[in-house]
Structure 1
């Protein structure tokens, strides 16, 4: 009887961890740099105020920026630790929830050179103003070509920037992969 109760409780917890509408499945492998639903935050610098339970595409957490929080937590990795081979292209994908058109945030990728005072050597991202559907989760993607001058010592950073957003912006299920 105790085993049945335990299994039932475990199934109930699993059912509570998702909104039932997401078919998001995590990837793994040598080309996956990060793939998170924010249930785990390995590699992400934590600003607890931007990790929220207000909305989630999958699981219970997402990250949010709003007028009180200019930047979300940041994923950071040294390029040489990402892959043993030279990375030429990356693909950023995520699910975003925008309550209105007043959400001009950017899901940004930045590469900086620590040997030159963290000078930016690359910057790009997904501009939320390109999303035209509101009050629902929408998938966004962008393939980015990296500069030839990329060095193994450079740092890659991934973050959500509020920019000119007036309303909150939510991001979940962020995936960054190496494109062949």
Structure 2
């Protein structure tokens, strides 16, 4: 068992070294992860800890939520030029969500905010969660791709968050978020 584990570690290290040394791949890291978050390591990093909840998580101890007491979840916010090693043509967003009933409503929002003006968007996309969650009362995987317009500046900010849409009277949870760059 130990030899098998050591073999896997060595193979993984070799593949990582080979990929890192391949000069022809420089700048072509299409399909890389922009962010992956299970919200376990957010506490203590300056984030708004009131946006985390321990009473309901898909994995680990923490998830983010929206509900009557919170309109927006914690927000991922990073300049496009820092979010990936190449120009982002879009993102594929995957997460696990929990809607307690058919009346629960929220959406996962993907925005690119242009520099200079606080509310000017270069892109806005929405994944209405009830459209993908057909069975409430259990954790469900959701996924959607968002294609960005060409020519967004590197200092525009990629923002990803959950919004309760102003009407949800029940709490909706999100966990295990993965954001992958699109080719």
TM > 0.5? yes
Q: CA deviation at 1:114?
A: 1.9
Please give the secondary structure, in 1, of the residue aligned with 2:116.
helix
| 2:72 corresponding residue in structure 1 | 71
Question: Number of residue pairs matched?
Answer: 151
- Equivalence map 1:49-88=2 (5 Å): 49-88=50-89
| 1:132 corresponding residue in structure 2 | 134
Which is worse superposed, 135-144 or 82-91?
Answer: 82-91
Question: In 2, distance between residues paired with 1:100 and 1:48?
Answer: 26
| 2:153 corresponding residue in structure 1 | 151
Q: CA-to-partner distance for each residue in 1:124-179, whole Å, 9 max, x for gaps?
A: 12111212211110000001111113110100111111112221000000011102
| 2:176 corresponding residue in structure 1 | 173
**TM superposition score normalised by structure 1:** 0.78
The CA RMSD over aligned residues, in Å, is 1.9
Question: In 2, distance between residues paired with 1:174 and 1:45?
Answer: 19
Structure 2 residue runs of 5 or longer lacking an equivalent are: 1-29
- The change in CA–CA distance for 1:161 and 1:45 in structure 2 (over 3 A counts) is farther
Structure 1 residue runs of 5 or longer lacking an equivalent are: 1-28
**TM superposition score normalised by structure 2:** 0.77
Which has the greater radius of gyration?
2
Question: In 2, distance between residues paired with 1:96 and 1:150?
Answer: 30
